[in-house]
Amino acid sequence: MKTAFLSPSVAVAVFAAAVFAVTAVSQAPQSQPSGPPGGPMPHEMQMPAPTNLQVLPKDLTGEQVHRIMHSWASALGTHCDTCHAPDPNAPVGPGGHPRLDYALDTKPEKNTARLMVKMVEDINGNYIGKIDNAGIKVSCGTCHRGHLSPPIFIPPPEHHMGPPPQGAPPAAPATGL
Ligand code: HEC
Ligand code: HEC
């Protein structure tokens, strides 16, 4: 049986990162989420349980999915409609904004995001998790840094070592890395 691609520990890590991101962004004065301890968040009833999870654990609550979604949107510097298509049956929601059908899979960005989730799980489980490290995991923000297309890294000029000695081979082999 193939359920979710994420192992429970990775799911917890993804979820913890999501909680951290949401907390850091929106709850500066408070250190704890405001729901009763161990109980549902106040607006949990308004968030229906997900019906079309293919890479996230299928037993996440609506509230948990929303926290992860907010962390993805901030990591990519985008909004929900980057990945989610309007509901064709109810195109206009409150305030004249299109109402999104989150379970629809019509936008290619949504499936790209699913691939990205599997990639991040692979990177952390099979590479970063196998080195002696400080517990830092790769997340969407590690690469995207608030942009839909990860910005190209240009090293600051003061870190350049100057021109190579005469006759020296090019600094890096042409591996594409
Ligand atoms: C980078 C793309 C991306 C962004 C941005 C994004 N989502 Fe998602 N969303 C997804 C993917 C991918 C899934 C399906 C995950 C899976 O298959 O396990 C999903 C699933 C969901 C679901 C569950 C739907 C169901 O019934 O299965 C909800 C609800 C949801 N998103 C809400 C939001 C909200 C609200 C926002 C904005 C705050 C948002 N999403 C932003 C990619 C995104
Ligand atoms: C190892 C670096 C890395 C990580 C980690 C990463 N991405 Fe990406 N992502 C990329 C690159 C590179 C592209 C291609 C961008 C381009 O061609 O403009 C991309 C593209 C995307 C796109 C398509 C953008 C578009 O313009 O259509 C989405 C959506 C996306 N990533 C979502 C995510 C999400 C969600 C996560 C976390 C679950 C994530 N990414 C983690 C490197 C990364």
Residue nearest to atom 6 of ligand 2 (CA): 140
Where exactly are the structural domains of the chain? 8-30+53-153
Measure 105 CA to ligand 1 centroid, in angstroms.
Answer: 10
Q: What is the mean pLDDT of each run of 10 residues along the chain (177 residues)?
A: 46 46 40 46 72 98 98 98 95 87 98 98 96 92 98 84 62 61
Domain 8-30+53-153 bears CATH identifier 1.10.468.10? yes
63: CA distance to ligand 2 center in Å? Answer: 24
Q: Are 111 and 105 in contact (CB under 8 A)?
A: yes
Ligand 1 close to Cβ of residue 105 (< 6 A)? no
Which phi and psi (to 5°) does residue 120 adopt? -65, -40
Closest ligand 2 atom to Cα of 72: 35
Largest CA distance in the chain: 69
DSSP for 131-171, written as a single string? S--SS----HHHHHTT-SSPPPP---GGG---SPPTTPPPS
pTM: 0.79
Ligand nearest to the CA of residue 4, numbered in listed order? 1
Residue 79 pLDDT: 97
158, with CB counted inside 10 A (0-12, 13-18, 19+), is: exposed
From ligand 1's centre to the CA of 57, what distance in Å? 13
Q: How far is the CA of 50 from the centre of ligand 1 (A)?
A: 9
Tokens of residue 101, six digits: 């059908």
Q: What is the pLDDT of residue 133?
A: 84
